Amino acid sequence: MKDMFYTIDKLRNRIHELDNFRYRDVIELEYFNTKLNEDKDIAPTIPQDFDGTIKLGETWKGRDLYLWMQKVVKVPFSWQGKSVVGIFDFGETGAGNNSGFESLFYLNNKPYQGVDSNHKEVFFPENIAGTDLELLFRLWTGLEGGGIPREQEHRINRAQLAWLDEKVDDLFYNAMVILETIQELDKY
């Protein structure tokens, strides 16, 4: 039993290492232009100008507050034919209630995909390589999820553009399935 634990632990460590090779030619997005959004409308007006910035590692906070984040990135032409992906971690999402942040990513000024703790990857259309890509997010701080009203604080932990190495990604997910299967079998 003890030997199996070490085998599982070793496999878990190798899978963690493999995770780092899924994304290739990573471009770090060190900052975003920002604008506070007083409009709590479901279909808000997209701002034309931004009056602040937020850097990777910095925090954003508020209670029931909206923040627009924007950045234009040149997608390398050499990524043509590859799966271009954005990887974003802007804070913690609540457990099914209104605590924790939520965000909506806009592509070509239209809602494209939610980005939160459970949806950190944004896959872009095939024809995006070689273009200037506007990354535009509308973030919401969330509420406390019940109890005493308090300000919510979140950190811009990760913001990257890369291409997904699909073979490594397949290996990573197959290894995860094997690990889960071994852990299930180890219970018996």
* pLDDT > 70: percent of the chain: 93
Alpha-carbon span 97 to 143, nearest angstrom: 9
- Residue 1's pLDDT band, with cuts at 50, 70 and 90, is very low
Q: Which two tokens stand for residue 1?
A: 């039993």
Tens digit of pLDDT for each residue in 149-187? Answer: 888 888 999 999 999 999 999 999 999 999 888 888 777
Higher model confidence: residue 182 or residue 137?
A: 137
The alpha carbon dihedral of 182, 117, 87, 123 has a sign of positive
Tens digit of pLDDT for each residue in 40-92? Answer: 777 788 999 999 999 999 998 888 889 999 999 999 999 999 999 999 998 77
Higher model confidence: residue 99 or residue 159?
A: 159
Q: What are the residues facing 158 on neighbouring strands?
A: 89
The predicted model scores a pTM of: 0.84
Instruction: Note the pLDDT of residue 85.
Output: 98
Position 70: which residue type? Q
Those residues whose C-beta lies under 8 Å from the C-beta of residue 107, and which sit 6 or more positions away, are: 113, 124, 125, 136
Strand order in the sheet with 121-123: 23-28, 158-164, 83-89, 121-123
- Residue 95's pLDDT band, with cuts at 50, 70 and 90, is low
